[in-house]
Chains A and B, each alone.
Chain A
Amino acid sequence: MGRTRIEAAFAKARAENRAALVTYLMAGDPDLETSYGALCALRDNGADIIELGAPFTDPMADGAAIQKAGLRALAGGTKLTDVIALAARFRKNDQTTPLILMGYANPVHSMGYEAFAEAAAKAGIDGSIIVDLPPEEDAPLREIYGRHGLSVIRLATPTTDEHRAAKVSEGASGFIYFVAVTGVTGAGSADPAAIAGRVAMVKRVSGLPVCVGFGVKSGAQAAEMAKIADGVVVGSAFVEKAGDAHATGRFEAAGPAMGMLAHELRVAIDSVRKA
């Protein structure tokens, strides 16, 4: 099921001559109920694919915004099983929007790859991005995912050359997540001109859609990235809305704020429709 839903999402965007909007939120930040509302708001406002962040105490590849979001979610008691349950709840009423679990290896390893894959597939999760499982280390997971129809989504970066791109593509499915800047999430801003060639190379080598993320916050930046990629990923900017809701104690404001941002990004992406 997983791969089909992801493929369908890209096919739909392609048919509309536009890039897909991929949004991220941290599950359980500021609480699980708010996250559920936010998932619906993102979907209703044009998100084509949603990455569901699973919190981890030591997120080595994340900048301050997502680090804090993870700690807020953990402080609220969010467990990996809660993240899976949140996905299942969303999937009951939505059979089309792909959900990608994004996180770090240890919570998944702790649950057990087989148990995780089985629960994730049952919940309607379509695949995962495990930041610290490069192709050299994800063989056991890949084999299990294959049996459960889940996608292993890999990362490519500005340090990925053609040789490495081939390695990154081995066994990958769904799409390739191209990290636009060398750095952590939410830091700096990417220059589309500088990475366009590499994005095209990764697309050619992998034969998969390529989504670009890291450092994309505004509609204007999303529009620029939409010109060179099959999808645009925005994360920290959404997570900051949850942070605002947490700071003011008005959790109910998070969903609508994320929805508005998704709408703004989607309008910007749609404005650069491809020929």
Chain B
Amino acid sequence: MDLRNTWDKWPDANGRFGEFGGRYVAETLMPLVLELEAEYRKAKRDPAFVAEMQDLWTHYVGRPSPLYFAERLTEHFGGAKIYFKRDELNHTGAHKINNCLGQVLLARRMGKKRIIAETGAGQHGVATATICARFGLECVVFMGETDVERQKPNVFRMRLLGAQIVPVSSGTGTLKDAMNEALRDWVTNVETTFYCIGTAAGPHPYPEIVRDFQSVIGREARAQILEREGRLPDAVMACIGGGSNAIGLFHPFIDDEGVRLIGVEAAGHGIETGQHAAALNGGRPGILHGNRTYLLQTDDGQIIDAHSISAGLDYPGIGPEHAFLRDMGRAEYLSCTDDEALEAFQLCTRLEGIIPALEPAHAIARVGEVAKDLGKDGLMILNLCGRGDKDVFSVAKALGVDV
């Protein structure tokens, strides 16, 4: 079989996925993103770089993550067989570390000793702080002031790991403001600093780099399902904030036209309320944080704050490759409200004995409909991209339980 695919040629030389992506950054940063791209091209072809990453993925992160047959959830919905890709079993409890490891190894190659990152729920921050501790690098994490308050355990974990947390009060003090502040830091400390972006967005080459590092998820899942079931799945599903876990799962299947790629956005209180984080289902194309993509914005082009119960999905944009896949009709994007995610969180916990993070709970909330649609002969994989320990307190609060 010819595995070369027509979708895999993106991004183009200008960092574009069709009309999305690009490098919309201040001139001060242009030499840096161009240098990063050149260095990444070299690293990708360097067997030593690939071997070091592979070794750490295996022995430090704990890859490959298992592909698990969610038998009781499958029975519950009575449709297609549902498999979980267990990326919540990675070191630090989420898929974020796949990418952090790759980027920090790149930073070391480039001689950068100071790593900065933005974080919302704190998962990317924790993963970055972890890898920085492992390599003895300075780590500064920008986090919205409100998130610092809401995510105290992760803030403490990052501090234990030696990271400096910078609470961001500018703008509205949310994830997008943390990203603005990280960009401001980067523009100020261009010589010493590497910006480790946590999602498949930002200026080229970040969407490509993050996708490539996260594609380990889909590569493993593809091989594992072929071994277990002897065939490709009918659908793969993942939740979408910026979209790094989803693109990591989707990309190795992108050429398999028979495999449906299904992303689930956070609909917050409902898309019709305006309080949501569903950039594809409730936004329109615009330019923010270095790329052209779908954004939540006013008629006048001002960015609207996202809302989701899940801090990890609480972002007004989405990675440019998702914008492209949606417009080209290659991937489908559904949405799920806060309440539906809470229900799915509990359902998965009780039926499978796995407490999922609120982020993948959004995908779980839609998995039943897709499973029924595919029917009993169907086969699907859902990326369980994070574990729910971090969410126990916010779930308790949402359910009115005093912990």
Residues of A within 8 A of B (CB): 55-64, 67, 71, 74, 79-81, 104-111, 131-134, 136-137, 154-161, 164, 168, 179, 182-184, 187-188
Contact = CB atoms under 8 A, between A and B. Distances in A.
The B interface is mostly helix, strand or loop, or mixed, namely mixed
A51 to B, nearest CB: 16
A86 to B, nearest CB: 15
Interface string B172-187: 0000110010011001
B299 A182 contact: no
Interface string B262-302: 00000000000000000000000011111010010101111
Contacts of B302: 55-57, 74, 106-107
B180 A58 contact: yes
Interface stretch (B20-28, B329-337, B344-352, B383-391): B20-28
A183 B189 CA distance: 7
B188 A183 contact: yes
B171 A58 contact: yes
Contact of A110 (B23, B176, B297): B297
9 contacts: A57-B302, A57-B303, A58-B171, A74-B302, A106-B295, A110-B299, A110-B300, A111-B300, A184-B188
A106 B290 CA distance: 11
Interface in B166-215: 170-171, 176-177, 180, 183-184, 187-191
B99 to A, nearest CB: 22
A134 B23 contact: yes
Given A183-B188, A184-B188, A136 B23 contact: yes
Given A57-B303, A105-B24, A107-B300, A134 B30 contact: yes
B301 A182 contact: no
Query: 10 tightest CB-CB pairs across the interface, nearest first?
Result: A110-B301, A107-B301, A183-B188, A155-B27, A105-B287, A157-B28, A61-B26, A57-B303, A60-B183, A132-B24
Contacts of A168: 27
B32 interface: yes
Contacts of B288: 58, 106
Contacts of A107: 300-302
A60 B27 contact: no
A251 to B, nearest CB: 23
Contacts of A58: 171, 176-177, 180, 288-289, 303
Contacts of B190: 159, 182
Contact of A131 (B22, B26, B188, B297): B26
A59 B184 CA distance: 9
Contact of B303 (A106, A111, A179): A106
A49 B288 CA distance: 28
A31 to B, nearest CB: 17
Given A71-B171, A136-B22, A106 B301 contact: yes
Contacts of B301: 56, 80, 106-111
Contacts of B287: 104-106, 109, 132
B300 A79 contact: yes
Contacts of A74: 302
A152 to B, nearest CB: 13
A187 B185 CA distance: 11
Interface string B101-145: 000000000000000000000000000000000000000000000
Q: Which of A59, A134, A161 has the most CB of B within 10 A?
A: A134
B14 interface: yes
A160 B31 contact: yes
